[in-house]
Each structure stands twice: as structure tokens, then as C-alpha cells.
Amino acid sequence: MAFAPRGPEASFFQVLDQHRASLLAALRKGGREPAGGGTHLATRFEDSVGLHMVSHCTTRKIKSDSPKSVKTFALILKILSMIYKLVQSNTYATKRDIYYTDSQLFGNQTVVDNIINDISCMLKVPRRSLHILSTSKGLIAGNLRYIEEDGTKVNCACATAVAVPSNIQGIQNLITDAKFLLIVEKDATFQRLLDDSFCTKMSPCIMVTGKGVPDLNTRLLVKKLWDTFHIPIFTLVDADPHGIEIMCIYKYGSMAMSFEAHNLTVPAIRWLGLLPSDIKRLNIPKVTLIPLTKQDQMKLDSILKRPYITCQPFWRKEMEIMADSKMKAEIQALTFLSSDYLSRVYLPNKLKFGGWI
């Protein structure tokens, strides 16, 4: 075995092990979810991939002799020349590095980000193949060791979390005994679980947070861990439309990055909590609940109309509970039951008895 300490007895993970066996069986059959399909604009949904761009999508032309697009054309050429130099010298730069080479010319970071995405999409290659890296904001902790591209050995089984590497493609020799990976929406919840020694009590496991909407590297890391180990992956998000949106990004991807869906999405991800149905089941005090705003309701309606929800009836049911109640809840609402209810009762029971959807 690669790690110590040990957590619960082996029998604790019986349902988890059965879930993993079903995931592996699905992979052998082609890696598909139970059912689904559909189309949306230039993006198609496939249950085994998530949202990805169709080959016949609408394109736009940027001409050098057009007053409207001549500046964009020039900026694309400038960034292409920088990419060429990076590839030729086998060096890497962040999007921020590129922006600061001529911040007055680019104007703002968003211009650089959009052009890099356009180049990646146009050439049909992942951004890292352009030798452009994103700055990581995510954290990882638990039963995992690996070696970074420069030879640095990283052990995530420490008391403090480790920053997600900026070059996921370069990490190698990944080792883990983890029974599951838990994606935590918010950094505050992630840190609280660390303080409660959740990774030790539920050992062996891995925890990851993207600190809200995940950056590219956090998504790449989750995908790499799935592709390497095929362990169950669960999400812990607020019972609100924003939390559900973040979970959908990990599982099915986003419109903006649909051209790279095969490298980013993990359709095997399951929703562990906080479920809207948990609010009533656990008798969470009404004083801790928050009314849905108009923006929340619009977001919820938008998610319910997405093609992948047709193959997630249990997700739909949970979202309908939220819509009917017109209330949302943060994970922190569980502290009203007891200060360590999340790590001591809620998550262990969910994991032991299969409380995911």
C-alpha cells in the first residue's frame, strides 16, 4: 500500500466499491451515462463526453483588409508569433505573461484570453499544446503523490493543501490508494474539512477545490485523476443554482470550452450534496435558508432546459424541489445542527450508504 494512515474499516467502503465496479463496467461498455442526447446551438451534448462543439458550427472570418477586424487580426498574428517562439524554445508562459508583454496594445486581459481560446479552437489543439498555461487557483489534499515536470516530488497527504500544478500534462508517477475523490465547491468548506481532519478520518481519499467556478487546471487535474485511477468522484456544492452550475461544469463542461470537452469533462461525477431534499430530511432550520433571487430563478430555469438534464431525472427532481420552495441553502447551514456535522455525520453517512445521485 502506498499510504498511511488508515481510515474506516473496509466494510465502510462496501457501497463505494460497488459504485466503482459499476463505473468500470460502464467504461467497458463504452463509458456512457444511462440515457440522453440533444443539441444546443453549435454545441452538441453526448452523455459520454458532455458538451462538445459540432463540426458544422457557424464560423466567423477575421480579415486583414477590413477596418472592423484589422486590429483583432493583428493581435492574433502577434500572439501566434509568441506561441511559435514558445514552442520552438520548448518554454511555457501564462496568459498573464502574454498580456504584460504589451498591456497597452492588448488593452485588457480578456482580449488575450479570447484570442488564445480562438487560436486553440481554430487549430483544434488544447491550450497547453500552444505552450500557454493558466494560473492555478485550485487546491488539492489527501491520498495522492506525484512528480512535477521539473522533478519536484509532491505529497498531498500533509496537514495543509497543495496548490494545483500549472502544468497538469507534465505531472507523472501519480500514486494513490484513494477510494474516492471529493470536489468541494468553496474554499471555506474545503478548509473546514481540512481542519476537521476529514482526509484522515475518511482515509484513503482525495479532496479538490476550484474555489468556486473551477479554473482550467483544476478541471484538467480532476480529469487526469479520473482517467488514471477511475475512482468515484463526488461534488459537494451549495444547494443553489450557482452550486449546481459549478457541478455541471466539472461533469459536462461549458459552452466556452466545448471545443476541449474530451480533455475536461468527467460525466461519471455524482452529486453528493448539499441536496435540496436534504434540507427537509435533516430539518435544517428555516432561519438558515435564503430566498431565491430573480437571477437565481433564471439560472435554475436555464439549467432545467439543458439537454443533459433529460438523462438526470434525480437531478431534475432536486431542482424542482428548490424551484417549488423558492429557497436555497449554503453548506454552512449544516453547522446549525452541530459545528462538525458536515465532516462527522453528513458526509460519512452519504458515503457509507450511497447517498449520491
Task: Tell me: pLDDT of 91 over 70.
Answer: yes
Scanning the structure block, which residue is given the C-alpha cell 458550427? 57
What pLDDT shows up at residue 170? 87
Catalytic residues: 100
Q: Environment class of residue 283 by beta-carbon count within 10 Å: exposed (0-12), middle (13-18) or buried (19+)?
A: exposed
3-state secondary structure of 164: coil
Q: Which residues contact 35 (CB under 8 A, 6 or more apart)?
A: 47, 310, 311
What pLDDT shows up at residue 37? 35
What pLDDT shows up at residue 41? 38
Q: Which residue has the higher pLDDT, 19 or 65?
A: 19
Taking the C-alpha atoms of residue 37 and residue 307, their distance in angstroms, rounded to an integer, is 7
What pLDDT shows up at residue 40? 38
Taking the C-alpha atoms of residue 224 and residue 35, their distance in angstroms, rounded to an integer, is 25
Span of 106-115, 126-135, 331-340 with lowest mean pLDDT: 126-135
**Res. 261 pLDDT band, cuts 50 70 90:** low
What pLDDT shows up at residue 134? 76
Average pLDDT of span 98-104: 90
Taking the C-alpha atoms of residue 355 and residue 4, their distance in angstroms, rounded to an integer, is 27
Taking residue 22's Cβ as centre, other Cβ atoms within 10 Å add up to: 12
What pLDDT shows up at residue 67? 74
Largest CA distance in the chain: 70
**Res. 289 pLDDT band, cuts 50 70 90:** very high
> Which one-letter amino acid corresponds to residue 27?
L
- Alpha carbon distances (Å) from 13 to 162, 348, 351: 26, 10, 8
What pLDDT shows up at residue 96? 87
3-state secondary structure of 180: coil
3-state secondary structure of 9: coil
Taking the C-alpha atoms of residue 101 and residue 82, their distance in angstroms, rounded to an integer, is 10
Nearest Cα to 31, choosing from 48, 49, 51, 50?
48
Nearest Cα to 270, choosing from 242, 236, 313, 293?
236
pLDDT digits (tens, 9 = 90+) for 192-227: 999 999 999 998 999 999 999 999 899 999 999 999
pLDDT digits (tens, 9 = 90+) for 222-256: 999 999 999 999 999 999 999 999 999 999 987 66
Average pLDDT of span 31-58: 47
Nearest Cα to 267, choosing from 235, 314, 301?
235
Taking the C-alpha atoms of residue 52 and residue 64, their distance in angstroms, rounded to an integer, is 30
Task: Assess contact for 236 and 189: CB atoms under 8 A.
Answer: yes
